[in-house]
Amino acid sequence: MKTVGYAAHSADSALVPYHFERRDLRANDVAIEILYSGVCHSDLHTVNGDWGPQPYPLVPGHEIVGVVKSVGADVKNYKVGDHVAVGCMVDSCQECDQCHHHEEQYCRNGMTGTYGAPDRQTGDITQGGYSKHIVVREEFVLRIPDNMDISKAAPILCAGITTFSPLRTWNVTKGTRVGVIGLGGLGHMAVKLAHAMGAEVTAISRSKNKEKEAIAMGAKGILASTDADAMAAAANAFDIIIDTVPVKHDVTMYAPLLDVDGTIVIVGQVGPLEEPLTLPLILGRRRIAGSLIGGIKETQEVLDFCAEHNVYPDCEMIKMEDINSAFERLAQGDLAHRFVIDMSSLSAE
Ligand SMILES: [Zn+2]
Ligand SMILES: [Zn+2]
């Protein structure tokens, strides 16, 4: 199938229109017309080569919402016209213990990323959601709940599941004291999801500039990390802290905020951190942990949870042609929301 998207052709070039082929449907494939595509900070890191050399040309995008256009002969769960979604993975081995536990993101044989990864059968490089169409095997297609606003759902597929999964893993429930570092795409979803779970949520940010927004999302307020007195007063104040900061930073300063047995979960930063000190960890049996997206079953759960609890990302809708300026704004940081590309702005020609 011929399609069109926006691709990077090198680490330092802008995204430009790119015509390419989606594969012919295999028996278990679903062909999707993409309606909305979220813009994740990792799209920017990846196309810039921050995480290593990339197979250019590369079409990023792994927060995908669309409508089924056709299905392969063996597809059981989807039909033409269904509203569906695709997240950060499009395949895994389906045979290992992790795949059997619905944790395909930790597949022993490596999950297949939605873009920039070799297809398990052909070796062709996968291309992501900044495009008109995508073809994905049924097992990696999610269902959009009937009552969901599809124009706002895309960021749930990465920002939503990436924060939902650790909140669930660490049993966040009514009354759990949750800190969220950073209020960008991931952080603002962490605040909303934890609040919807009944937790007592505090945003942790360098300044209180975005306190009004944080409170509107469900936080009690902002703890300013630059305010030494406030940080000292917040010692032992959290059971769990979700750290969404996407750049190299210091986690040692946050460790004393955890109560005994508390955990900082890093979900935003890939690569080296400032050197952590062990003392606050040892003194409170505190942990620094990491977490990668979530499995397909749990991704369906977060979509259903958001529909049920009316939790939506704050989205700024952009046109496809505005992606490069959106990337610039993302690189400068300080957004308390997610860009979503309205894919109808991209002509199919
Ligand atoms: Zn992402
Ligand atoms: Zn596997």
Distance in Å, CA 105 to ligand 2 centroid: 8
Count other Cβ atoms within 10 Å, centred on residue 231: 18
Q: Are 166 and 292 in contact (CB under 8 A)?
A: no
Question: What pTM value is reported for the model?
Answer: 0.96
Strands 338-342 and 315-319 turn out to be: parallel
Distance in Å, CA 161 to ligand 1 centroid: 9
Closest ligand (CA of 39):
1
Residues flanking ion ligand 2, Cβ below 5 Å: 92-93, 96, 99, 107
The CATH architecture to which 160-290 belongs is 3-Layer(aba) Sandwich (3.40)
Closest ligand (CA of 128):
1
Find the radius of gyration of the CA atoms of the chain.
Answer: 20
- Determine the pLDDT at residue 270: 87
In whole angstroms, what separates CA 183 from the centre of its chain?
A: 13
Using one digit for the tens of pLDDT, what is the confidence trace for 52-104?
999 999 999 999 999 999 999 999 999 999 999 999 999 999 999 999 999 99
- Determine the pLDDT at residue 336: 73
Question: Omega before 276 cis (within 30°)?
Answer: no
Out of 3.40.50.300, 3.90.180.10, 3.40.30.10, 3.30.450.40, the CATH code matching 2-158+312-345 is 3.90.180.10
Instruction: Spell out, as residue ranges, where the chain has pLDDT lower than 70.
Output: 334
Distance in Å, CA 170 to ligand 2 centroid: 23
Distance CA 199, CA 332 (A): 30
- Determine the pLDDT at residue 36: 98
Distance CA 256, CA 27 (A): 53
Distance in Å, CA 281 to ligand 1 centroid: 29
Distance CA 148, CA 142 (A): 13
Distance in Å, CA 283 to ligand 1 centroid: 34
Q: Which two tokens stand for residue 91?
A: 């395949």
* DSSP-H helix ranges across the chain: 41-47, 97-100, 159-169, 185-196, 211-217, 228-233, 279-284, 296-309, 323-332
Residue intervals of the chain classified under CATH 3.90.180.10 are 2-158+312-345
Distance in Å, CA 230 to ligand 1 centroid: 32
Distance in Å, CA 332 to ligand 2 centroid: 37
Closest ligand (CA of 294):
1
Closest ligand (CA of 109):
2
Nearest to 117 by CA among 51, 203, 180, 64: 51
Closest ligand (CA of 154):
1
Q: How far are the Cα atoms of 21, 66, 133, 229 from residue 17, in angstroms, in the given order?
A: 13, 20, 14, 51
- Determine the pLDDT at residue 140: 98
Residue intervals of the chain classified under CATH 3.40.50.720 are 160-290
